[in-house]
Amino acid sequence: MTSLLLASASPARLSTLRSAGLDPLVQVSSVDEDAVLAEGRARFGTLEPEDAVLLLAQAKAEDVTRALEQPAEDAETAEAGTALPDLVVGCDSMLELDGEIFGKPADAETAVARWRTMRGRSGVLHTGHWVVDLRATEDGGTGGTLGATSSTTVHFADLSDEEIDAYVATGEPLAVAGAFTLDGRGGAFVTGIEGDHHGVVGISLPLLRELVGQVGVRWTDLW
């Protein structure tokens, strides 16, 4: 079996991978997202939403990769028997609405305002994916580091103010990009999608299959 490490604290991403037959390790990155985006804008100018999430996914995957490799370089402090995972995957999601991008709302007031703007309308949920191949060359490793973005159009129900207030009061919208879930309480407020629903949950299985395939790993080897 080829081992995979998920560089994300998202329970939804972990659950999606487990439901697909994978059993990933988890290590959360220490990336400052605002700093990464600021640096990206300084280097590349205005970032399109699909590029912003890809940049953050790359930063998270590479941050965790550096953290994993650092102790391995110090023979005196490395734990006996500790092995690097074969692959690291980082992800980041944002909702695009009216040309703006939205991550997790900062507070309940922001989430309420966001939903009053979203209701009865459609947005695009972008999820960036970045894969790093850590396998040794003799084990088929490519040294590859690559990524892509999954983009899915989401159609929102026309919620009442009371429904919005009740939903925000559950706390769920505060923990997720775009202030909604597809696999939780928010699922009742999404009338339809165009694209991969896994990408809306947080990690696109078809896209991840393509990415790992590009570094020579068969999807079924991750089961």
Structure tokens at 194: 């165009």
How far is residue 32 CA from its own chain's centroid? 15
In the block, tokens 């939780």 appear at 184
In the block, tokens 């209701």 appear at 119
* Distance of alpha carbon 56 from alpha carbon 103, whole angstroms: 12
Q: Give the length of the chain.
A: 223
What residues are labeled active site?
Answer: 92
CB 7 within 8 A of CB 59: no
Structure tokens at 196: 């991969």
Strands (E), the chain: 4-6, 25-26, 87-97, 100-102, 122-133, 145-156, 190-194
Residue 106 exposed, middle or buried by CB count within 10 Å (0-12, 13-18, 19+): exposed
* Distance of alpha carbon 47 from alpha carbon 33, whole angstroms: 14
